[in-house]
Structure 1
Amino acid sequence: SGHFGVVKRCRERSTGTFYAAKFVKMRRCRSSRLGLEWAQVEREVAILRQLDHPNIMRLHDLFSSRAEVVLILELIGGGELFDFIAEKEMLSEEEAIEFLGQILRGVEYLHARRIAHLDLKPENIMLQEKDVPKPRIKIIDFGLAQRLDDGVTFKSLCGTPQYIAPEVINYEPLSSATDMWSIGVITYILLSGLSPFQGETDAETLSNIVAGDYEFEERCFSQTSEMAKDFIRQLLVKEPGQRMTATECLVHPWIK
């Protein structure tokens, strides 16, 4: 259940296959604050239709009326990575590498198609199944995703405070590197159960991000390898052009 919609399980009569139906309320008129504008939904659908990757949620079909749009999506039953971490508190490096390899392959696929997700966080990464030794993950929710076209500058203040990059807060141009910062934050959380920039308030969190102010707390990172810390350090870099790309991450000695 999101700001403007709910998700229900549905079954296709002709095949008996179960899907997730995401009901999205549409904005009735320009002045209304309730619901989404058609252009926003259209952008998300256009992006989802281009994607076919084992680590990215698939769009199966679409129905629309004036009041709402229904996206028929692949059913993913294992819950959020967020809940998986919360239950375990933190993951072993082996478990973290297993998840990150899949996240990175999905993100590498997106970036090769000039698409930035711009809302990567453990709540938007789902497990295909839960109680299996090596769960497959799926990246979901492309509501903020953007095509990055040559010569077109894109800026946005959207995202979730803990995970957004400094360039989002500073209202500077966004790029695929914006996603890589979020992967740095996700890695830190997977290994420690803590959020690297979390302040007492959102304002303090944003201030910590802009300052690049984080540390590896001894009580949570005393057993963590230097290679894992190096991986995080090469992503939580204030200058977007100096962050590792998804492809570079996949050949980093810690992941490889």
Structure 2
Amino acid sequence: MTGGELFDRIVSKSFYNEKEARDTCKILFEAIGFCHSKSVAHRDLKPENLLLQSEDSDSAIKIADFGFSKKVLTPNSLTTQCGTPGYVAPEILEGLHYDTKADMWSLGVIMYIILGGYPPFIEQNQRELFRKIRKGQYEFHEEYWGSVSADAKDLIKSLLTVQPSKRITADQALQHKWMLQDASVLAAQDLGANLSELRKYNAKRKFKAAVNAVMMANKLTSLGMNFKDNLKSESSLG
């Protein structure tokens, strides 16, 4: 995947509009729709797991990291609480049985970010973050969403629906009015202001990931040193 992360490619653009956002969402819905047709739930959809195959194409998007993926043999047969804060579906947080619809919630979060430039659920306190997710408390702030088409917002609402049975599938998302809208109409919907916000969000996300990587490296180094010290102690006793 030499093209790097999808979000890095988006924020490098000089111009950005709803057509480009729609084209990206279409690929994601098709990819997850294929997984779901094979009864596979990904369970950890987030920007870090959306990669580009090459530096030459914006459309060769690949979904990565199937470490949490699971076969869904029957509806609502999954029970493991897994995923990433901010993207995880409310039914998982509630400890309920769930299935592939949990992925559609995560795609709703990703679509919100792709269009708005920031996540729908933002809280420093994780307990408060999870409370908002469980209740589906988010809004379309006028400053960034006033110029976004009503159809795009309607699709997001259909994805960020707390009750899984009322949440749309990937196939239904692909048939939504916004997904079928004329390309020239969507190309006229400029997202320049939201692209600036997405750059800020992406920079924070990358910084947080870098900090976590350093913390993990330090922890592993510490564990390695303790392991060596224990070996020395054992050898001196032996």
Structure 2 contact 109–119 (Cα < 8 Å) conserved: yes
Give unmatched runs, 5+ long, in structure 1: 1-75
Q: Deviations over 1:100-119 (max 9, x none)?
A: 11111111111111100011
Alignment of 1:1-256 (within 5 A): 76-87=1-12, 91-132=16-57, 134-150=58-74, 153-256=77-180
1:102 maps to amino acid: I
Shift in Å, 1:80: 0.9
Cα contact 2:75–2:98 (8 A) shared by 1: no
Classify 1:143/1:90 alpha carbon distance in 2 versus 1 (closer, same or farther; 3 Å).
Answer: farther
How much does 1:229 deviate? 0.3
Query: In structure 1, what is the Cα distance between the partners aligned to 2:92 and 2:127?
Result: 14
- Write the letter of the residue equivalent to 1:84: R
Secondary structure at the residue paired with 2:160?
coil
What is the alpha-carbon distance in structure 1 between the residues aligned to residue 75 and residue 7 of structure 2? 36
Query: Structure 1's 232 and 89: CA in aligned 2 closer, same or farther, altered over 3 A?
Result: farther
- Select the structure of larger CA radius of gyration: 2
1:90–1:200 Cα change, 3 Å: farther
Q: 1:152 to 1:227 in 2, by over 3 A?
A: closer
CA distance in 1, matches of 2:121, 2:109: 9
Residue-pair matches, total: 180
Flag the 1:120–1:89 CA change in 2: closer, same or farther, 3 A.
farther
Deviations along 1:88-135, one digit per CA (max 9) or x if unpaired, are 599521111111111111111111111000111111110112354x43
Unaligned runs of 5+ in 2: 181-238
Q: Secondary structure at the match of 1:108?
A: helix
* Larger fraction in strand: 1
TM-score scaled to structure 1, two decimals? 0.66
Counterparts of 1:105 and 1:114 in 2: how far apart (Å)?
Answer: 14
Q: Which has the higher contact order (CA 8 A, sep 6+)?
A: 2
Preserved contact between residue 119 and residue 160 of structure 1 (Cα < 8 Å): yes
Return the alpha-carbon distance in structure 2 between the equivalents of residues 149 and 215 of structure 1: 35
Q: If the length of structure 2 is used for normalisation, what is the TM-score?
A: 0.71
Alpha carbons of structure 1 residues 195 and 98: separation in structure 2 relative to 1, 3 Å? same
Q: Which amino acid aligns with 1:135?
A: S
Following TM superposition, by how much is the alpha carbon of 1:82 offset from its aligned partner in structure 2, in angstroms? Answer: 3.0
